[in-house]
Amino acid sequence: MPTNPWRGIGLDVYESHMSDPDVGQLAALLGITAAQLRDHPSRRVGIRGIAAGNGLDALDETEVDSVSGYDINADYLEACRSRYEARFGDRMHLIECSIDRSLAITPTDLLIANLLIEYIGIDEFAAFVAANTTAIGVPSCVTQRNGEVGVVSKTKYSSAFVGLESIASEVDPDALAAALSAVGWFEVSRSEHPLPNGKVLTRQDFAATS
């Protein structure tokens, strides 16, 4: 598997950075993920970039048949297993994988991809969705606009994330909608969620054109 900066960022550092009051991403993402799950009740849920369980606190284990989590960092997945295996048992499937179009996912009614597209690019994500069209019910994505803040928000942990600047790019929501439209998916909803430091999270949900 090719080296990726995400594989070198420790979980404690990642979660401390994301939950810093000036960043506010952890709390914001939990709220957005809860809304994604509420808006699209699903027996089969897939989460790309699950880390140590991004979003699972918002998921009622009695209402799902399977949860598939994908991440490039094996340590994150091991922490996810430790935290949530008692709740989901053998219905939880965690897969270490590269984040690109080569990934063939387990069929899922709702695919959540939050703060992922920035690190693979719009074209790669669109190619991934196209390759997995028959396995995806609804793709729901969150991207961020950095404004003057830059790719890495400023906290005492920021230095651990510098390597991400080599793979990150800002995502234009209109360009994402156009790229998915070109492979057979249309945007059905969009919402914006400002963060304390001036960044803005944009949620976009899509449906197949046929």
Q: pTM value?
A: 0.94
Instruction: State percent of the chain over pLDDT 90.
Output: 74
The partner residues of 114 in beta bridges, in order of sequence, read 142
The DSSP output letter for 9 is S
CA distance 147 to 50: 25
Nearest in space to 170 (alpha carbons), one of 197, 202, 130, 205:
202
Q: Strand pairing of 108-114 and 200-208? A: unpaired
Question: Nearest-CA neighbor of 176 among 128, 116, 125?
Answer: 125
Domains of the chain with CATH codes: 5-208 (3.40.50.150)
Query: How many of the other CB atoms lie within 10 Å of CB of 39?
Result: 14
Tell me the average pLDDT across 113-118: 94
E strand intervals along the chain: 44-48, 66-71, 92-96, 108-114, 136-145, 185-194, 200-208
Q: What is the DSSP string of 110-144?
A: EEEEES-GGGT-HHHHHHHHHHTGGGEEEEEEEEE
The pLDDT assigned to 1 comes to 43
Question: Edge-to-edge strands of the sheet including 108-114?
Answer: 92-96, 66-71, 44-48, 108-114, 136-145, 200-208, 185-194
Lowest mean pLDDT among 29-38, 74-83, 97-106: 97-106
Among left, alpha and beta (phi > 0; psi -120 to 50; other), residue 91 is alpha
Rounded Cα distance between 205 and 184, Å, is 13
Give the model's pLDDT for residue 139: 98
- List pLDDT tens digits, range 11-67: 999 999 988 888 888 889 989 999 999 999 999 999 999 999 988 998 999 999 999
pLDDT digits (tens, 9 = 90+) for 179-190: 999 999 999 999
